[in-house]
Amino acid sequence: MNNRDGRPEVLLGFSPCPNDTLIFYGLVHDRVASPIRFRPVLADVEELNRRSMKRELEVTKVSYHALCHLRRDYYLLRSGGALGRGCGPLVVARTDRELSGLSGLRIAIPGRMTTAFLLLQLYDRGLAGGALEMPFDRIMPAVARGEADAGLIIHESRFTYPLFGLHQLLDLGEWWEQQTGLPIPLGAIVARRDLGRKRVATIEGLVASSVSYGREHFDEARPYLLRHAQEMDESVLRQHTDLYVNDFSNDLGTEGIQAVRELLHRAENAGLVETSELDLFA
């Protein structure tokens, strides 16, 4: 589709979380010169995962777990994703208890296609048996009210769970790093293969430029981040973006690509996803 200014228009899916709104601020506000106009579609990452399964979005944020199922239709971009150290999902509960006692019990999860749920299964499939799906921002209140025995939390929840009187039982990012020595891949940016390798390569470079712009102009982007983050405290906002928007967001690099391939390899070996011989990158 061509826009009124003559530029082709591409649907760009990302979440309202501050790391995504910071990353794409430059593109959606025309702060980055682009031959393509990006029309933003903001939604929870699990909804983006589902919409990508239907090939609805041309460029979008997805979970790395979802990427395992999308390789036939999407290329992985080297820029724009969430990957790092000390930023993994946590399992929390009302009381400090043994993880083994949670096997088969109700663990609230932010979606079955999230990387968090994939990591939980890789850690211990027994913990995934009683999974209750709900939006990520409802998990901590649900655990605090006793509607779930534990919660698998992501995003800014790793900073705020003590406010709900909850205790950390497991840091899946720490477990991953101990197992592999690699950073943890959480969220990916993908582009539909039918855009063609040349256009995908162009988009990859534009996303990298938008990452750089957002990191260099945080104060300018702050009102946009806060508008979508809703009730997030400003100090948590900065903690969140400092953690999740990092050098890997500019470019996965050798170590980042190794981490992605390791996650896919472990998921395939565990029989959690189908194997694929397709190239990941355009």
Amino acid at the residue 238: R
Please, what sign has the CA dihedral across residues 190, 21, 214, 261? negative
Indicate the SS3 state at residue 97. Answer: coil
Examine the residue annotation and report whether 155 is marked as an active-site residue of this protein: yes
Amino acid at the residue 213: Y
Rounded to 10°, the helix 197-216/218-229 angle is 100
Query: Residues 180, 259: contact at Cβ < 8 Å?
Result: yes
Q: What is the CA radius of gyration of the chain?
A: 18
Amino acid at the residue 170: L
Amino acid at the residue 258: Q
Residue 15 gets the label, from left (phi > 0), alpha (psi -120 to 50) or beta, of: beta
Amino acid at the residue 109: I
Tokens 């809703």, located at residue:
230
Tokens 């400090």, located at residue:
96
Catalytic, out of 29, 65, 69, 155: 155
Q: Which helix (H) or strand (E) holds 173?
A: helix 172-180
Query: Known catalytic residues?
Result: 155
